[in-house]
């Protein structure tokens, strides 16, 4: 239906304004409304979904008063309205305004429905076009897609997705996602920086700052890695080991002092141990104790905001907003720690932590070395906390759970510890002592394989990514390399669901002959920079715990269920009871 209105129709309408003709309709017949003005200028043209061809307004003859009155009589006769009433109506704006409101309301409703329907159809068409032949739902739930599944993800749900194909597709809030489950495609994503870059989650750059080195690519990222690699030399690791050993003993003493006869959830205590150990390794005494407690307390807000699916806007009260406030508080202390470190190193003091080693490195050697600002150094430490805190907390919780559930493995760990320590459990660990502990290293490696803290790492395609011969991932899509399937490949790890440290002690085992499958620390240019540091920390914590404490694990129906946040944890929080060990 076509409706013509003057641009100035908002003012009261009278017969002198022009020709106003209404043909009333009964039943299901169409009501046609035409408004024509003298002179005809600047008409507003509205098109409704139902079209009814009418003559152009310019084709109407110039009206006379006689013709106007005749049309009014025709209208009142056909509509059954008394002439006096009709004349009264046409001498005011009531009829025109009423008809305009009715037509306008129907217009907006019909137009809105048409637009909404078109967008929904377009959404499905775009999804099908991008998905092509990949496994996955043929149609996506309008607008939200797989959002409901993503809010409460389960490992079983991801396993089902991985089993559907080497590549599969889903959509969440119109974000097209390709999930890679095979080792080949997972490694290809990790090693294709020209096609894809880490995006972690939608809120990551807001929380960790977009200029953080973890989001950089190319030469700038390579320059950072080259500098940071020097902070994980054997000499530097020896400095860090002293902090790890002393912090572990401090927390074990507190656990034993506060132990009760009841099993207690261990997730928070493990996180606190890891956070203090990390802060002392990274910042030493440049971080005051109260700052360490505040950062540890607030860091959980950052963890919650970096779940795979989250409301991405930083609105007060949201997880992202809370995480940004926690980051701001942490950055104040970390930036100040970098400043204090530069003062200490300039005064000739020996390095006692990672930022000291970094400052010392900047002060020596080539004068062309980049001078990193306090803010840049603080951002790196923030990224290290993000990379280590929850991943190592997850690792340690599962290590305690595995050793409690496999007492024969714990017994072998203890035997090795007593032998290397010469029976002196109070003696601090050294790198040389760790070199003589192959079993605990194999045990840690196996626990990480069985329950990898990170099961997948989201990337974003920078341009069309020809990942296979018959499929190209569209630019701007999320593409997720999955670690878990490679670590549970039965061809590489026979009996993959069992905890078998011995598989790593035989150089000829399929596990050792297929290092490409061990993707716990990723692969490619963004592979974890602190692999040796992480393995050393986990071996130190568990080796010292094994000789100082006994612990019992309360198995619940959710002990073997997985809670998936930024990393994975036992769904029940892992209930443990600690008692002193008599040596």
Inter-residue contact 43 to 4 (CB < 8 Å): yes
The pLDDT of residue 74 is: 54
The pLDDT of residue 141 is: 72
- Does 283 show up as a binding residue in the annotation? no
- Distance (Å, rounded) from C-alpha 475 to C-alpha 196? 9
* pLDDT over threshold 70, residue 476: yes
Out of 100-109, 258-267, 370-379, 454-463, least confident range: 100-109
What is the token pair recorded at 47?
């098109």
Q: What is the dihedral of CA 183, 459, 155, 175, to 10 degrees?
A: -130
Name the more confident of 445 and 582: 445
Out of 49-58, 64-73, 233-242, least confident range: 49-58
> Could you count the other beta carbons within 10 Å of the beta carbon of residue 482?
23
> Could you count the other beta carbons within 10 Å of the beta carbon of residue 95?
17
The pLDDT of residue 299 is: 83
Inter-residue contact 540 to 241 (CB < 8 Å): yes
What is the token pair recorded at 371?
């001078």
What is the token pair recorded at 448?
């990480």
Mean pLDDT for 308-323 is 78
Q: Which CATH superfamily is domain 202-454+523-552 in?
A: Cytochrome P450 (1.10.630.10)
Inter-residue contact 183 to 487 (CB < 8 Å): no
Burial (0-12, 13-18, 19+ Cβ within 10 Å), 91: middle
The pLDDT of residue 140 is: 74
Q: What is the dihedral of CA 83, 89, 95, 97, to 10 degrees?
A: 170
> Could you count the other beta carbons within 10 Å of the beta carbon of residue 50?
9
Q: Where in the chain is the domain with CATH 1.10.630.10?
A: 202-454+523-552
Q: Give backbone dihedrals phi and psi of 562, rounded to 5 degrees, phi first.
A: -110, 130
Mean pLDDT for 187-211 is 86
* pLDDT over threshold 50, residue 22: no
Mean pLDDT for 498-508 is 97
Name the more confident of 404 and 55: 404
The pLDDT of residue 276 is: 93
Three-state DSSP class for 549?
Answer: strand
* pLDDT over threshold 50, residue 60: no
The pLDDT of residue 215 is: 79
* pLDDT over threshold 60, residue 174: yes
* pLDDT over threshold 60, residue 15: no
Out of 107-121, 150-164, 465-479, least confident range: 107-121
User: pLDDT digit string (tens) for 251-293?
Assistant: 999 999 998 889 999 988 999 999 999 999 999 999 998 888 8
The pLDDT of residue 32 is: 37
Mean pLDDT of the chain: 82
The pLDDT of residue 312 is: 67
- In this prediction, residue 81 has a pLDDT band, given cuts at 50, 70 and 90, of very low
- In this prediction, residue 487 has a pLDDT band, given cuts at 50, 70 and 90, of very high
Count of residues in the chain: 583
Name the more confident of 583 and 434: 434
- Distance (Å, rounded) from C-alpha 544 to C-alpha 414? 9
Phi-psi region of 227 (alpha: psi -120 to 50; beta: other; left: phi over 0): alpha
The pLDDT of residue 117 is: 76
User: pLDDT digit string (tens) for 318-366?
Assistant: 888 888 999 999 999 999 999 999 999 999 999 999 999 999 988 886 6
> Could you count the other beta carbons within 10 Å of the beta carbon of residue 65?
9
């Amino acid at each position: 239906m076509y409706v013509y209105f003057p641009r100035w129709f908002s003012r009261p309408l009278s017969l002198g304004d022009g020709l106003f003709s209404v043909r009333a309709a009964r039943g299901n017949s169409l009501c046609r409304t035409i408004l024509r003005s003298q002179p005809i200028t600047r008409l507003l043209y509205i098109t409704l979904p139902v079209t009814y061809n009418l003559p152009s307004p310019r084709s109407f003859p110039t009206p006379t008063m006689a013709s106007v009155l005749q049309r009014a009589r025709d209208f009142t006769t056909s509509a059954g309205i008394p002439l006096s009433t009709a004349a009264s109506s046409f001498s005011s704006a009531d009829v025109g305004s009423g008809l305009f409101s009715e037509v306008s309301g129907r217009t907006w409703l019909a137009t809105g429905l048409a637009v909404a329907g078109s967008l929904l159809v377009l959404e499905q068409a775009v999804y099908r076009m991008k998905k092509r032949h990949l496994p996955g739902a043929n149609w996506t739930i309008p607008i939200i897609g797989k959002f409901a599944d993503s809010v409460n993800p389960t490992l079983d749900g991801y396993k089902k997705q991985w089993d559907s194909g080497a590549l599969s597709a889903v959509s969440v809030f119109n974000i097209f996602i390709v999930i890679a489950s095979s080792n080949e495609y997972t490694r290809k994503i990790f090693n294709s920086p020209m096609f894809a870059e880490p995006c972690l989650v939608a809120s990551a750059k807001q929380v960790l700052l977009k200029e953080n080195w973890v989001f950089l690519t190319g030469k700038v990222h390579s320059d950072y890695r080259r500098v940071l690699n020097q902070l994980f030399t054997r000499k530097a690791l020896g400095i860090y080991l002293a902090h790890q050993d002393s912090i572990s003993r401090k927390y074990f003493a507190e656990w034993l002092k506060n132990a009760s006869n009841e099993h207690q959830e261990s997730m928070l205590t493990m996180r606190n141990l890891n956070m203090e150990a990390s802060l002392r390794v990274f910042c030493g005494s440049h971080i005051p104790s109260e700052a360490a407690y505040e950062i540890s307390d607030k860091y959980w807000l950052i963890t919650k905001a970096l779940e795979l699916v989250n409301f991405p806007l930083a609105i007060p009260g949201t997880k992202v907003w809370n995480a940004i406030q926690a980051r701001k508080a942490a950055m104040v202390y970390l930036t100040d720690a970098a400043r204090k470190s530069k003062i200490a190193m300039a005064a000739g003091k020996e390095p006692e932590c990672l930022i000291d080693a970094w400052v010392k490195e900047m002060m020596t050697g080539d004068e062309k070395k980049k001078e990193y600002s306090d803010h840049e150094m603080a951002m790196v430490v923030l990224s290290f906390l993000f990379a280590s805190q929850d991943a190592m907390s997850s690792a340690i919780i599962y290590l305690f759970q595995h050793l409690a559930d496999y007492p024969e493995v714990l017994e072998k760990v203890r035997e090795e510890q007593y032998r290397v320590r010469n029976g002196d459990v109070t003696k601090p660990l050294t790198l040389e002592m760790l070199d003589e502990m192959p079993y605990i290293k194999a045990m840690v490696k196996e626990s990480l394989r069985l329950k990898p803290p990170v099961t997948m790492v989201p990337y974003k395609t920078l341009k069309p990514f020809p990942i296979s011969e018959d499929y190209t991932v569209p630019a701007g899509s999320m593409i997720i390399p999955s670690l878990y399937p490679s670590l549970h490949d039965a061809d590489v790890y026979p009996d993959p669901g069992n905890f078998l440290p011995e598989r790593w002690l035989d150089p000829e085992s399929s596990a050792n002959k297929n290092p490409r499958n061990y993707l716990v620390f990723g692969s490619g240019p963004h592979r974890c920079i602190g692999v040796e540091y992480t393995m050393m920390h986990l071996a130190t914590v568990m080796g010292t715990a094994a000789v100082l404490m006994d612990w019992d694990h309360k198995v619940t129906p959710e002990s073997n269920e997985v809670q998936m946040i930024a990393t994975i944890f036992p769904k029940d929080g892992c209930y443990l009871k600690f008692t002193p060990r008599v040596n």
